[in-house]
């Protein structure tokens, strides 16, 4: 069964960095969100920021692709890296301040990563696959892989794969270590087996592996045979410097900024750089914690 990427929606808080603004010319701006429009009704004050941003992104995706006609067949998978850190720390503050028996119960569910996907399901009446993956920078590829499994099995026809990266206090540390650029980003990718709606890419393969041996990255890169293969355009997201003609080694600062949701940014913006002769786009992501993933798309 052929699986397609049908739509990509991104929201970004661009900050004041001019490079970032240029790079994200196709993204919507978080600053432009109308809070009244996006978050109607009471009870939103305690909701974490990531939930609110995802709510807007999911709403956009549903409206744009008219998914409200078939919500029973829509799955939702979110890919996180640090996104629920603030909720956890906030809850710890509560414990320290009021004691274990007197914490605010409203904040309790937000300490669980999957609550965000659950909350979005409640808001949008999505009663099908609902899952959260948190495995470092390869999380998004794992989420796409799971989505393809469930579409192939016939359980769902569409799957929204979400990823986000928000500002946290702890990023000061990375900032010092890795020249990290502050910013916030949320994206949604619509995956389906429906060839009648907008098709951007066909997903050819997704793989994610642990790095058991240190030399595995080089062996994967070498196996790509990129110099001879002019029909492929390769994107490498990681800290390894690659000197091959048709590998686009992505900007390390930007890559660090977007963490696991860098892929949607690339896909939205890389199109103009790709030579017309290239049919396949191969995205490689390397996580220093110990995994490597690859996604091959067909234009």
Partner 1 sequence: MNFVVPNGLKNNYKELHSVSLISDDWYNECDSRNISSEKRITNYILLGVMEALEDAKLLSNREILKNTCLYIGSSKNYLFEDKDFINNEALKMDMQLYPLNILTVVSKQLGIGGENLLLPVACSGGNVAISLAEKQIKSEATDIVIAGGADIFNETCYAIFSSLGILSEKTSSPFMKNRDGITIGEGAGFVVVESLESAKKRGVKILAEVLGSTLSCDAFHLTTPNPEGTEAANAMKCAIESAHLTPDGIDCISPHATGTVTNDLQEANAIKAVFGKRSSDILISATKSSLGHCLGAASAIEAVLATLSLEYGLVPETLNMYDDICEFEFNLYHYPTNHKINTILSNSFAFGGNICCVIFGKYER
Q: Which is nearer to partner 1, 10 or 192 (CB)?
A: 192
In Å, how far are 61, 145, 254 from 65, measured between CA atoms?
6, 21, 29
Q: Does 279 bind partner 1 (CB under 8 A)?
A: no
Site membership for partner 1, residue 131 (CB under 8 A): yes
* Min separation Cβ 181 and partner 1, Å: 17
Question: Which residues, 44 to 63, sit near partner 1 by CB under 8 A?
Answer: none
Among 4, 82, 158, 286, binds partner 1 (CB under 8 A): 82
Q: Is the Cα torsion angle 192, 196, 199, 204 positive or negative in sign?
A: positive
Q: Distance between CA 39 and CA 9 in Å, rounded?
A: 18
Binders of partner 1 among residues 136 to 175 (CB under 8 A) are 136, 142, 145-146, 149-150, 152-153, 155, 168-170, 172-174
Task: Please identify which residue in 19, 29, 70, 112 interacts with partner 1, judged by CB under 8 A.
Answer: 112
Does 39 bind partner 1 (CB under 8 A)? Our answer is no
Residues facing residue 186 across a β-bridge: 11, 164
DSSP 8-state symbol, 135: B
Nearest alpha carbon to residue 52 among 151, 133, 127, 164: 164
Residues 2, 72: Cα–Cα separation, whole Å: 21
Specify the pairing of strand 280-287 against strand 130-133. Answer: unpaired
Question: Which parts of this chain interact with partner 1 (CB under 8 A)?
Answer: 76, 80, 82, 84-85, 88-89, 91-96, 100-101, 103-105, 107-109, 111-119, 121-122, 124-136, 142, 145-146, 149-150, 152-153, 155, 168-170, 172-174, 207-213, 289-291
């Amino acid at each position: 069964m052929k699986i397609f990427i049908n739509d990509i929606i991104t929201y970004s808080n661009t900050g004041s960095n001019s490079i970032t603004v240029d790079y994200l010319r196709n993204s919507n701006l978080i600053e432009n969100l109308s809070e009244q429009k996006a978050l109607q009704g009471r009870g939103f004050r305690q909701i974490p920021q990531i939930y609110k941003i995802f709510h807007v992104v999911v709403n956009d995706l549903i409206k744009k692709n008219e998914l409200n006609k078939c919500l029973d067949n829509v799955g939702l998978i979110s890919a996180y890296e640090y996104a629920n850190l603030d909720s956890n720390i906030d809850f710890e503050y509560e414990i320290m301040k009021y004691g274990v028996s007197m914490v605010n119960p409203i904040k309790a569910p937000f300490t669980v990563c999957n609550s965000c996907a659950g909350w979005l399901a409640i808001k949008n009446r999505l009663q099908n696959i609902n899952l959260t993956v948190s495995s470092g920078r390869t999380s998004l590829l794992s989420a796409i892989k799971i989505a393809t499994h469930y579409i192939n099995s016939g359980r769902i026809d569409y799957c929204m794969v979400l990823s986000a990266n928000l500002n946290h206090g702890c990023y000061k540390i990375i900032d010092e270590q890795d020249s990290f650029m502050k910013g916030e980003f949320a994206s949604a990718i619509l995956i389906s087996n429906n060839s009648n709606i907008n098709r951007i890419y066909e997903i050819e393969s997704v793989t994610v592996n642990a790095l058991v041996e240190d030399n595995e990255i080089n062996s994967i890169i070498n196996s790509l045979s990129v110099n001879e293969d002019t029909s492929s355009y390769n994107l490498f997201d990681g800290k390894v410097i690659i000197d091959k003609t048709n590998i686009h080694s992505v900007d390390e600062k930007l890559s660090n900024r977007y963490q696991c949701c860098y892929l949607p940014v690339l896909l939205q913006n890389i199109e103009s750089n790709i030579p017309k002769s290239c049919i396949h786009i191969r995205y490689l992501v390397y996580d220093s914690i110990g995994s490597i993933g690859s996604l091959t798309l067909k234009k």
